[in-house]
Amino acid sequence: MNKRKLGSQGLEVSQMGLGCMGLSYGYGKPTNKKEAIELLRKAYELGITFFDTAEIYGPFLNEEVVGEAIDPFRNEVVIATKFGFNYVDGQPAGLNSRPEYIRQRVEGSLKRLNVETIDLLYQHRIDPNVPIEEVAGTVKDLIREGKVKYFGLSEAGASNIRKAHAVQPVSALQSEYSLWWREPEIKSFKTLAELEIGFVPFSPLGKGFLTGKIDVNTEFSKNDFRRSIPRFNEENRKANLALVGLVKQIAQQKNATPAQIALAWIFEQKPWIVPIPGTTKTHRLQKMLAQLT
């Protein structure tokens, strides 16, 4: 698989990464651990060297699964994880990016991932109670200490990106982006291009909608977070199916799947974009990668 660079600090990853969240969190019952590890190792065999996780996925379970899965080829891959949430009785409870707390969360991630260094560390969400300069300064210290290699932000706006970058160069911004959700083009692309920061879109398949497998009759499980997203209520799904119909039409013309078309569109936007679609099925992973391997 081809490589792409995120930022100007030298971070190189596979052209497409793998979002690991859905294996443990967000889409219903977690995937069996053995099956999840098999999927992650298959992804590596197919050329993926960029794996995205976070302590909140589970919480904590996803980092453990990713850590065990990548152990045989740790030095050949890039692992991204995130900090930024408080926890009460093991469950998320608001934002927290205080410097001393960042250090605490990083130590936990290092243990769960079973690594000495986190390749790419994101602030998961901007904490309005902590100046972004303090956050960037803390990560800068962690990089100096060898516990982190590169710094990233998730769902940050242009102003915070600039402030953070002035303290510690930001290698990547992670935000939602797809044919179905194009807000970053307006809010952040200009800043990213100017500062030479890479972009990592999560949900490049529209949280599954652009695969063509979801319609007005689809019922989501009680643990599926899409139940609470307005775009996925029955009325909006019905309206948005027009876009899916167009993607399906193009896919038929190109002898491809809708997911392949949605990803191909992402790849053509900018050379510094690396999408991280997620899946729990090996055959779907293979189809997504068919155009790249």
Point out the residues that are catalytic.
57
- Per the DSSP assignment, residues forming a β-bridge with 129 are none
User: Are residues 182 and 204 in contact, defined by beta-carbon separation less than 8 angstroms?
Assistant: no
Measured from the Cβ of residue 152, the count of other Cβ atoms closer than 10 Å reads 29
Helix (H, G, I), strand (E, B) or coil at 38: helix
Beta-strand runs (E) in the chain: 3-6, 11-14, 18-19, 50-52, 78-83, 85-88, 91-95, 118-123, 148-154, 170-176, 198-202
The residue written with tokens 């956050």 in the block is 135
Nearest to 168 by CA among 190, 142, 145: 142
User: Are residues 97 and 123 in contact, defined by beta-carbon separation less than 8 angstroms?
Assistant: yes
User: Are residues 291 and 263 in contact, defined by beta-carbon separation less than 8 angstroms?
Assistant: yes
User: Are residues 136 and 97 in contact, defined by beta-carbon separation less than 8 angstroms?
Assistant: no
Distances (CA, A) of 42 to 45, 112, 199, 281, 285: 5, 21, 25, 11, 9
The residue written with tokens 């990853």 in the block is 13
Whether the link from the prior residue into 59 is cis, omega within 30° of 0, is yes
